Amino acid sequence: MDDLQYGARDKRGNWTPGTPLHVAPFWEGRWSRMGHFVVEYLWPWNAFHMTVTLAYWFLIIQPNLAEFSTWSWKWVAILYAINAGGIFVMYGSIELFYYVKRIQGTRFKYNARFPAENPSDVFWFKSQNLDNFLRSFFVSIPIWTLIQVIFFWCHANGYHAFAWLGWEQHWLWLVVLTLLVPAIHEIHFFCGHWLIHQGALYKHVHSVHHNSINPSPWSSMSMHPVESAIFFSEMLWHLLIPSNPVVALFQLNSTAYGAINGHIGFEKLEFDGEAGDKAMNSHAYAHYLHHKYFEVNYGGEGLVPLDKWFGTWHDGSKDADEQMKARFRAKKERLKAKQSKATPAE
């Protein structure tokens, strides 16, 4: 595909989309876009996460649910192996074809450089790829697995703030709740993400993730343990919301497997080369801008437009750049004024 039909490339080779980002169309009254929005809401990413969820449930969890009533490190080990294997295959495939073999070159790539080309002391072994890989498999995936096992221990023992719901009696609410899973994620992610951008939490926790200014698939779960715990804890909302374990598992899997979306680094992933026309949208740009500018787009793509409501939305346009710079200048002035008040006059 010719990426210049969809955007522009600067002198450094960095590609940007030709159209700015938009929040979900129903917030802006763009009703003609609703059909397209619904299709992309369901396919392919959420359909993939639901497929993975049903495989987990029917092949692994449900046949062994009684065993979760007693804490067992055996199930921690089993689920860790399954989670790690799934991430290795999914993330690793995109890493292999688009970052190692580079079958697409830099077409649709926001940052023309690849992480392997930029060794840095901020990473373990001076390698972003190795650092991100190790943090994913030895920090984040173990924490994901522990939360998963704790949740199913609660379910197997009947612990819930209200009640577990069955599909036969409560199918309509559970279908609605399933469709709301991405919205729950955006709210949880925005709040937790904004929190770890504050003061000491950023310095000692979230800065680990932001070392990857030019993110790639392995950056998706490269986190400090505190951030990983906050990130994956959104599954636990289903201990407070009247829910079903399948919906909760969909929440967790769409968080874990879906973390890659904001870190793919390409607007589109081509399937049939430069001459073809088959490609999949990554939905990566909003979060790429966050990695680039740090204090914008704390949430998702605007399904629940908290960034827009709180003034931190960046749609990739020059106008958004100017608004961001004005906000940064105002913040700097407030800090100067605060410091001058704190400094006694001579």
Residue 305: predicted pLDDT: 97
User: Does residue 52 surpass a pLDDT of 60?
Assistant: yes
At 158-169, the pLDDT tens digits run 999 999 999 999
Distance, in Å, from the CA atom of 46 to the CA atom of 51, rounded to the nearest integer, reads 8
At 110-152, the pLDDT tens digits run 999 999 888 999 999 999 999 999 999 999 999 999 999 999 9
Of all residues in the chain, the percent with pLDDT exceeding 90 is 92
At 268-308, the pLDDT tens digits run 999 987 767 899 999 999 999 999 999 999 999 999 999 99
User: Does residue 345 surpass a pLDDT of 70?
Assistant: no
Q: Which is nearest to 49 in space by CA: 185, 221, 249? A: 249
At 167-218, the pLDDT tens digits run 999 999 999 999 999 999 999 999 999 999 999 999 999 999 999 999 999 9
Residue 55: predicted pLDDT: 98
Q: What is the pLDDT averaged over residues 255-266?
A: 96
Structural tokens at position 142: 């173990």
* Radius of gyration of the chain measured on its C-alpha atoms: 21
Residue 331: predicted pLDDT: 87
Q: Which is nearest to 238 in space by CA: 229, 247, 226, 230? A: 247
What is the DSSP annotation of 180-200? HHHHHHHHHHHHHHHHTTSHH
At 78-109, the pLDDT tens digits run 999 999 999 999 999 999 999 999 999 999 99
Distance, in Å, from the CA atom of 322 to the CA atom of 129, rounded to the nearest integer, reads 33
Q: How many CA atoms lie within 13 A of 117 on its CB side?
A: 9
pLDDT band at 341 (very low <50, low <70, confident <90, very high): confident
Is the distance from CB of 273 to CB of 77 less than 8 angstroms? no
Is the distance from CB of 193 to CB of 286 less than 8 angstroms? no
Spatial neighbors of 306 by CB under 8 A, at least 6 apart, are 186, 187, 190, 298, 299
User: Does residue 346 surpass a pLDDT of 60?
Assistant: no
User: Does residue 6 surpass a pLDDT of 80?
Assistant: yes
Whole-number average pLDDT of the chain: 95
Give domain limits for the chain. 26-300, 311-341
Of all residues in the chain, the percent with pLDDT exceeding 70 is 98
- For the CA atoms of 323, 108, 207, 326, what is the dihedral angle to 10 degrees? -10
Residue 118: predicted pLDDT: 87
Distance, in Å, from the CA atom of 304 to the CA atom of 330, rounded to the nearest integer, reads 26
Distance, in Å, from the CA atom of 22 to the CA atom of 301, rounded to the nearest integer, reads 8
Place of tokens 């390698």: 127
**Whole-prediction pTM:** 0.94
Distance, in Å, from the CA atom of 15 to the CA atom of 113, rounded to the nearest integer, reads 11
Distance, in Å, from the CA atom of 197 to the CA atom of 82, rounded to the nearest integer, reads 32
Residue 298: predicted pLDDT: 97
Please report which helix (H) or strand (E) contains residue 91, including its range. helix 73-95
Residue 175: predicted pLDDT: 98
